[in-house]
Amino acid sequence: AALAFAVLLALGGRDPALRPSEARAVAIVPLTADCGGAAPASGARPRLVVAGVWAGAEARRFAAVLARFARRTGVEVTYAYETRNIAAKLEGRIERGCPPDVALLPQPGLLARLAREGRIQPLDPATAATVRRHYGRTWRQLATVRGRAYGVWFKAAGKSSIWYRPGALRTAGVDRPPRSWPELLETARRLAAAGVRPFAVAGASPWTLTDWFENLYLRSAGPVPYQRLAEHRIRWTDPSVVRVLRQLAGLLSDRALVGLPGQALETSFEESVDQVFGDRPEAAMVYEGDFVRSFLPPGAAHAAGAEARFFAFPGAVASGPPVAVVGGDVAVRLQACRDALTRRAAAALAGADTVRFDLSDLQPPAFGATAEQGMWEIFQDFLADPSNPEATARRLEAAARAAWACERAIAGRC
């Protein structure tokens, strides 16, 4: 059943007879580490448990995909979600002998570790051949460990967009979006002078803070050092890292631009979008990926960008080639874009000259994707006090060294 699920989603295809309400046939429950919460309903039908990171509206949309699968195969499906630390929950279920049948992993680093530990199965030859036909080399490599393919990438998200309200920029006398980092800071200062907080910062969702760093680093250092840092082949204390931390500190330390650190540290990603596009907007811009589109309030995006627009995360100079940081989830091909704003976001991702996967997602999970430790904790502390980039770099290097030593079986227990 798990293999049939992967093949179905990899090949995609829209079933015109499927109604959105049919998603109700799929149970949506929290993923627990103790073998509870994800048990499918009893009955004679084949059963499948799928674990992923989406909750709320995203979970309901994914349930519609699962409902199509259930309708075609007769397999009963339960979707179990975990939004904060799916690695720990999966490991708990594996240790207790009740792993889900399929796990949708947002981090190549986690996939690699589970594969090395023998906790996930490689793709069978037929599915691997399908992946080779439909996916480029870079995406195949991200799901390959020791020469064997373990996953199918089904969702890609560009993470190099800054979303904004056009009316707010007009209020500050800004007639076009900024095209370079200095122009972005100048736009922010003009907004602040006009009495509008420039940025909503989602400090309570620490992955957004690592995304800020990754976009700046890719544009400052370039794709080769970016990849070397992702693999810990250069240290986090390298001058190129410290230089970008100083650049980011220049933004985060200006409270007129991002608000008070306490406020930002209590703001989730969803709340940051609402602070820009909600009924009572508090800020003009919010940084994150093209998936912001899914969190806009009704009407904010449907007028072809009239109320919600975005521009590419700017580089050091306006004339630099387009580059993009991307994220993704392992299993299927994207469906066609449904509206003009989403098509623009997809075109921006497709048109980038240089694409690199989210750096933190390439790390061992203990360093790159775990709450209250590693990159997430250190960048939250950096938001609270960005006055010492060098000390932040040293903390990052110490945490990275420990995580990679564990990952490479040099020391410790991951």
Tens digit of each residue's pLDDT (9 = 90 or more) over 124-142: 888 888 888 877 777 788 8
Answer yes or no: is pLDDT of 323 > 80.
Answer: no
Q: What is the mean pLDDT of the chain?
A: 80
pLDDT of residue 20: 39
**2-156 is classed in which CATH architecture?**
3-Layer(aba) Sandwich (3.40)
pLDDT of residue 19: 41
Check: CB of residue 327 under 8 Å from CB of residue 208.
no
Residue 393: CA count within 13 A, CB half-sphere: 20
| pLDDT of 8 | 46
5 within 8 A of 69, measured Cβ to Cβ:
yes
CA 392 to chain centre: 23
Per-residue pLDDT for 324 more than 70? no
Contacts for 388 with CB less than 8 Å, ≥ 6 apart? none
Contact 34, 92 (CB under 8 A): yes
Residue of higher predicted confidence among 23 and 257? 257
Q: Each residue of 55-78: pLDDT tens digit?
A: 777 788 888 888 888 888 787 888
Is the pLDDT assigned to residue 397 strictly greater than 60?
A: yes
C-alpha span between 52 and 31 (Å, rounded)? 8
Angle between helix axes 86-95 and 108-116 (nearest 10 degrees) is 20
Q: Is 102 left (phi over 0), alpha (psi -120 to 50) or beta?
A: beta
Dist CA 369 CA 377 (whole Å): 10
* Per-residue confidence (pLDDT) for residue 153, from 0 to 100: 78
Q: Is the per-residue pLDDT at 272 higher than 90?
A: yes
Tokens for 277, please give them: 């596009």
**79: region left, alpha or beta (phi > 0 left; psi from -120 to 50 alpha):** beta
pLDDT at 337: 42
C-alpha dist (Å) from residue 406 to 240, 402, 412? 25, 6, 5
Tokens of 268: 């989730």
pLDDT value of position 73:
77
- Look-up of token digits 């049919």: 22
CA distance 24 to 60: 8
State how far the Cα of 46 lies from the Cα of 25, in Å rounded to an integer: 14
The dihedral built from the CA positions of residue 208, 213, 216 and 219, taken in this order, carries a sign that is negative
Give the pLDDT band of residue 304 (cuts 50, 70, 90): very low
Q: What is the 3-state secondary structure (H, E, C) of 79-131?
A: EEECCCCHHHHHHHHHHCCCCCCEECCCCHHHHHHHHHCCCCCCCCHHHHHHH
Q: What is the pLDDT of residue 56?
A: 77
Which pair of structure tokens corresponds to residue 303?
């007028």
Lowest mean pLDDT among 91-95, 289-293, 319-323: 319-323
Query: 210 φ, ψ to 5°?
Result: -65, -30
If you average pLDDT over each of 143-147, 245-249, 277-281, which comes out highest? 245-249
Lowest mean pLDDT segment, chosen from 144-158, 256-270, 284-298: 144-158
Query: Kind of pairing, strands 76-81 and 47-52?
Result: parallel
The 3-class secondary structure across 30-91, one letter per residue, is ECCCCCCCCCCCCCCCCEEEEEECCCHHHHHHHHHHHHHHHHHHCCEEEEEECCCCHHHHHH
As a whole number, mean pLDDT of residues 272-300 equals: 88
Task: Classify 165 as helix, strand or coil.
Answer: coil
Identical fold for domains 2-156 and 158-405, yes or no, is yes
For 66-84, b/e burial (b = at least 16 CB within 10 A) is bbbbbeebebbbbbbbbee
* pLDDT above 70 as % of the chain: 77
Angle between helices 374-384 and 239-252 (to 10 degrees): 50
Instruction: Please calculate the CA angle 86-11-356 and round it to the nearest 5 degrees.
Output: 55
Please name which of 85, 96, 109 lies closest in space to residue 31, comparing C-alpha atoms: 85
Give the pLDDT score at 347.
Answer: 56
CATH code of 158-405, in short, is 3.40.190.10
pLDDT of residue 348: 53
Average pLDDT over residues 215-237: 94
pLDDT at 118 over 90: no
Domain extent listing, the chain: 2-156, 158-405
Q: Residue 186's pLDDT band (boundaries 50, 70, 90)? A: very high
> In the structure, what pLDDT confidence band is assigned to residue 333 with cuts at 50, 70 and 90?
very low
Q: Kindly report, residue by residue over 199-225, the tens digit of the pLDDT.
A: 999 999 999 999 999 999 999 999 999
Give the pairing type, strands 47-52 and 102-103. parallel
339-395 residue pLDDT tens: 565 556 555 544 555 667 889 988 998 899 888 999 999 999 999 999 999 999 999
pLDDT class of 321 with cuts at 50, 70, 90: low
Among 97, 102, 86, residue whose Cα is nearest residue 2: 102
- Alpha-carbon distance 108 to 254, whole Å? 34
Q: Does the pLDDT of residue 284 top 90, yes or no?
A: yes
